[in-house]
Structure 1
Amino acid sequence: MNIKSLEVLVVDDEPAIRQVLAAHLSRSGCSVCQAANATDALERLSKGDIDVAISDIKMPDFTGIELVRRARAAGIDTSFIMMTAFASVDTAIDAIKAGASDYMIKPVRNEEVLHRLMKVSDMRRLSSENKVLRNLVMGSREETFAFASAAMRELERLIAKVAPTDSTVLVTGESGTGKGVIARQIHQNSQRAEGPFIPVNCGAIPENLMESELFGHVKGSFTGADKARKGLFLEADKGTIFLDEIGELPLALQVKLLHVIEEKTVRPVGSEQAKRADVRIVAATNRDLAQMVADGKFREDLYFRLSVFHVHAPPLRERRQDIPGLVRFLLQRGAKRMNHRQAIVIDPEVEEILGAYDWPGNVREMENVVDRALILADEGRITTAELPPQIMRGDPAKNGIQVPPSGDGLREQVRRFECAVVTRAISDAGGDRRMAAQKLGIGLSSLYRKMEEFEALGMLKDGV
């Protein structure tokens, strides 16, 4: 691991040893500070921004081993490499038991110090990644299905193109269109796939805590900061940070985010030291950032930085060809999650109603509808009785489709609803029945069969 991003504290009561070691580490690229005794060292460590402390064991006020104990008791996660001129197995064991990571015998060689420092640095990186991995176990790769729509196939092509690069990506789309899934696919197919993936909902974090959450803080930097916090950007080091709902980021934080993108460093709240953050940024929003720029609510320079590569997730109503396959996919996944032991069958009427619905909540809404149907279904069969009222109505306020009279039987209501959906699709297509069938996600022959059925029942208006 590169040690140039490390903050190192050298602790020794002998000025010559301390200064020579600090000078060598500085030449190697580390950011170095010094302490002449354990008391001063503990005060410096309490700020929470030191990665590794290289400390003598024998000191005038209290020992380096006691320094480790007190640091651990205070919640300080700095790694310790101990030094002593009085070598013994017992001393080494005591240092490790107290929480030290490594141990060296004086006089130390410069090459040995760098070797030990690199080893401890790698241990810290692995520990951080394991914490992130544990948090993401439930967010591992999802099963997928083949998209039928040209729009989604094009989106898959764009993802495949941009994922191997290190480009910043802006993902736009309505709520529920799968922007988070797209961000995770970009990460999983990138050179950073072995690194952490850190999702952040910018709209869910209080504004007064946003800077600390993103960039971290040192202990005592503000009221309530009783211990240091690393920050999500540093947690995502060597990986990807997903800034969801980026349009909710306050203007003051937009300036700091722009600095992070340009300088590749973050400065924790209350710290004088900037830390390198090797992070890829994927941002997402359901808002019109270009309009927000025009309204003065989003920085133009940040907008251009984020939208180096822009991908758009189309809503379900614009890719109805995907609805049947997506419904079946969600049914299979939901049945597996709910431990359904029998095969799930979905009535053709249900498939047609789901295909005609506009899905304002997109895939997220569809998943909720499917899960509800699975819970209510008798003997593994999903009928119109398991669909929620808004699906049966088809959002009449939006689509202009009349809800069938409540006095009709269920089958009669479904037929009238289908007839309204079909006639509206034909009207929207300017009378082009082939286009209407494509929009409805059904075959042309199925459309004609439906029309014949509606005509026989006297449901079709003249001229349709």
Structure 2
Amino acid sequence: MGSALQVLVVDDEPAIRQILTAGMTRAGHSVEVASSGREALMRLAKGDVEVTLCDINMPDLTGIEVVKEARAQGIDTTFIMMTAYSSVDTAIEAMKAGAIDYMIKPLRQEELAQRLEQIAEMRGLKGENEALRKLVVGRRDDHCPAVSQSMKALDRLVAKVAPTDSTVLITGESGTGKGVTARAIHQQSQRAGKPFIPVNCGAIPENLLESEFFGHVKGAFTGADRARKGLFLEADKGTIFLDEIGELPLELQVKLLHVLEAREIRPLGSEQVRKVDVRIVAATNRDLKAMVAEGRFREDLYFRLSGFHITVPPLRERRDDIPALIKYLLARGAERFGVSGKLSIEPDAEELLIAYDWPGNVRELENVLQRATILADQGRITLGDLPPHITPVVTTDPGGTALPRPSGGTLREQVREYELGLILRAIDDCGGDRRTAAQKLGIGLSSLYRKLEENEAPKGQNEGSKGQNTPD
């Protein structure tokens, strides 16, 4: 089972409250109950209820009125509505009020358990993304400012497009934070209080994609024992994030294009067309232009999706942001792995992390720091705690030129010797201009001087002009 949740059951029938409480308590959740809408609002005001199972038909306040009032008060809880009547109209009204789902009484414990597990994962990702968002894009606090020009430019693009209703295409390598960028667009938009529904187009079986997207009526196909509203209806008035859009089959690309143009869907097995008000944000790490040329992605859909195009830069192109990311990820790692006290990292280990190219981007950095957190002694990460592919072992530069081979000694001594070779070669390549050499190496000029002093480099070597040798 996923993380335990704080759940509130709201129903005027004691038997329903008792049955649901028993089932969810056995599943490990913490459950409280309320017998009326007003009692529920009083309990929700404390702000710690993560999920609220709320009956729609109650004598004092209806469930829909409870949702509306909770949203008006800014209460952050996930509402699942319960009703004895399979009314699509009532369900739609509940969704518009701010609920994310509805279930028909009597509730099946297995189905409820599965839904709660999905919500636990969703809420966990929401918390992580909110914290990571401060480091990756937009609304950073004073402790985690964006330093790199590429991320400042990304911030500006997000701030410009978010208040509009423009469709957005986000491209970038895996692990760069495309999903975080999409969520930032939603959170800075007029739809911020409405649903944000992320969908991994490559993770849903092809034969289920249409039903997942647009829903189906009862009996639409074998196994459809109840109606399903679909993800687009779940996202009504909000944002749907289509991740890995390049994985979408051509047949469904046609139907997605129709949704973009007509703003309507047709559930499987239904003759009724349903209007939807959904903003679409898509993302991919693939070259959609090349896919269009190969006939694997519709050109008309590509142009509709890429009305506003954002590229999230890889981590190697914004090395100045890495120290802030390290600081945040270490703090989170300490909490996750129960490390007492504050985690820190030795300067030479941090410099290696800054210099590494990070083909897996932020996600790879997080994995490396998680490993180092587990291995670190006394809460301090050293070079020895980093994986072998991070620590330098090659003896040639990318052009094949031989570099000074470490002569032996401790790991730290060998790394410093290797670093010195890289620094001296960079200074030579830049004609003695240490400022340019530091930029080429992706480190600050003061760091370059410090490393030269630590390694006792000859003071007169590669001096360059006086104007170029003054540290920042």
Give the TM-score normalised by the residue count of structure 1: 0.68
Which whole-Å CA distance do the structure 1 matches of 2:397 and 2:197 have between them? 37
Are 1:444 and 2:445 counterparts?
yes
Aligned to 1:230: 229
The secondary structure found in structure 2 opposite 1:241 is strand
Q: CA deviation at 1:212?
A: 1.4
Letter in 2 for 1:123: A
Q: 1:351 to 1:135 in 2, by over 3 A?
A: closer
After superposition, give the CA deviation of every residue in 1:348-367 in whole Å (9 maximum; x if it has no partner). Answer: 10111111100000000001
Percent identity, aligned pairs only, is 62
Q: CA deviation at 1:200?
A: 0.6
Q: 1:146 to 1:125 in 2, by over 3 A?
A: same
Q: 1:411 to 1:127 in 2, by over 3 A?
A: closer
The secondary structure found in structure 2 opposite 1:364 is helix
Which whole-Å CA distance do the structure 1 matches of 2:355 and 2:238 have between them? 41
Q: 1:130 to 1:297 in 2, by over 3 A?
A: closer
Residues 251-260 or 126-135, more deviating: 126-135
The secondary structure found in structure 2 opposite 1:392 is coil
Q: 1:156 to 1:380 in 2, by over 3 A?
A: same
Which whole-Å CA distance do the structure 1 matches of 2:439 and 2:219 have between them? 62
Q: 1:430 to 1:157 in 2, by over 3 A?
A: farther
Are 1:137 and 2:123 counterparts?
yes
Q: CA deviation at 1:396?
A: 8.4
Q: CA deviation at 1:248?
A: 1.0
The secondary structure found in structure 1 opposite 2:280 is strand
Which whole-Å CA distance do the structure 1 matches of 2:309 and 2:210 have between them? 26
Which whole-Å CA distance do the structure 1 matches of 2:312 and 2:305 have between them? 16
Aligned to 2:386: 387
Which whole-Å CA distance do the structure 1 matches of 2:310 and 2:323 have between them? 24
Instruction: Count residues in correspondence.
Output: 353
Q: 1:399 to 1:206 in 2, by over 3 A?
A: farther
After superposition, give the CA deviation of every residue in 1:317-346 in whole Å (9 maximum; x if it has no partner). Answer: 111111112111211222233333312221
Which whole-Å CA distance do the structure 1 matches of 2:349 and 2:390 have between them? 10
Once the two structures are superposed, the pairs formed by residues 266-285 of structure 1 within 5 Å of their partners are 266-285=265-284
Contact 1:180 1:244 in 2 (8 A): yes
Which structure carries more relative contact order (alpha carbon 8 Å, separation 6+)?
1
Letter in 2 for 1:183: A
Aligned to 2:78: none
Q: CA deviation at 1:177?
A: 0.3
Which whole-Å CA distance do the structure 1 matches of 2:385 and 2:99 have between them? 46
Q: CA deviation at 1:161?
A: 1.1
Contact 1:133 1:196 in 2 (8 A): no
Contact 1:217 1:231 in 2 (8 A): yes
Once the two structures are superposed, the pairs formed by residues 67-86 of structure 1 within 5 Å of their partners are none
Aligned to 1:21: none
After superposition, give the CA deviation of every residue in 1:372-399 in whole Å (9 maximum; x if it has no partner). Answer: 1111111111101110111114788994
Once the two structures are superposed, the pairs formed by residues 401-440 of structure 1 within 5 Å of their partners are 408-419=409-420, 421-422=422-423, 432-440=433-441
Which whole-Å CA distance do the structure 2 matches of 1:396 and 1:240 have between them? 50
Q: 1:429 to 1:257 in 2, by over 3 A?
A: farther
Contact 1:264 1:277 in 2 (8 A): yes
Q: 1:379 to 1:330 in 2, by over 3 A?
A: same
Letter in 1 for 2:131: E
After superposition, give the CA deviation of every residue in 1:71-92 in whole Å (9 maximum; x if it has no partner). Answer: xxxxxxxx99xxxxxxxxxxxx
Which whole-Å CA distance do the structure 1 matches of 2:343 and 2:417 have between them? 26
Aligned to 1:195: 194
Which whole-Å CA distance do the structure 2 matches of 1:246 and 1:211 have between them? 14
Which whole-Å CA distance do the structure 1 matches of 2:271 and 2:282 have between them? 28
Which whole-Å CA distance do the structure 1 matches of 2:346 and 2:244 have between them? 38
Q: 1:352 to 1:134 in 2, by over 3 A?
A: closer
> Residue 84 of structure 2 is aligned with which of 99, 108, 112?
99
Which whole-Å CA distance do the structure 1 matches of 2:246 and 2:335 have between them? 36
After superposition, give the CA deviation of every residue in 1:218-252 in whole Å (9 maximum; x if it has no partner). Answer: 23323333332221111111111110011111111
Q: 1:147 to 1:250 in 2, by over 3 A?
A: same
Contact 1:355 1:440 in 2 (8 A): no
Which of these two proteins has the greater Rg computed from alpha carbons?
1
Q: CA deviation at 1:406?
A: 10
Contact 1:320 1:440 in 2 (8 A): no
Aligned to 2:243: 244
Which whole-Å CA distance do the structure 2 matches of 1:238 and 1:405 have between them? 61
Contact 1:201 1:244 in 2 (8 A): yes
Which whole-Å CA distance do the structure 2 matches of 1:155 and 1:170 have between them? 13
Aligned to 1:170: 169
After superposition, give the CA deviation of every residue in 1:112-153 in whole Å (9 maximum; x if it has no partner). Answer: xxxxx9887533544742679766322143262211101101
After superposition, give the CA deviation of every residue in 1:41-76 in whole Å (9 maximum; x if it has no partner). Answer: xxxxxxxxxxxxxxxxxxxxxxxxxxxxxxxxxxxx
Aligned to 1:122: 93
Q: 1:124 to 1:281 in 2, by over 3 A?
A: closer
Aligned to 1:313: 312
Letter in 2 for 1:245: E
Which whole-Å CA distance do the structure 2 matches of 1:318 and 1:269 have between them? 45
After superposition, give the CA deviation of every residue in 1:388-422 in whole Å (9 maximum; x if it has no partner). Answer: 11111478899468796696531233124423543
Contact 1:393 1:403 in 2 (8 A): no
Q: 1:423 to 1:187 in 2, by over 3 A?
A: farther
Which whole-Å CA distance do the structure 2 matches of 1:434 and 1:243 have between them? 43
> What is the RMSD of the two structures over their aligned residues, measured on CA atoms?
3.4
The secondary structure found in structure 1 opposite 2:219 is coil
The secondary structure found in structure 1 opposite 2:391 is helix
Structure 1 unmatched runs, 5+:
1-78, 81-96, 103-116
Contact 2:150 2:318 in 1 (8 A): yes
Contact 1:358 1:394 in 2 (8 A): no
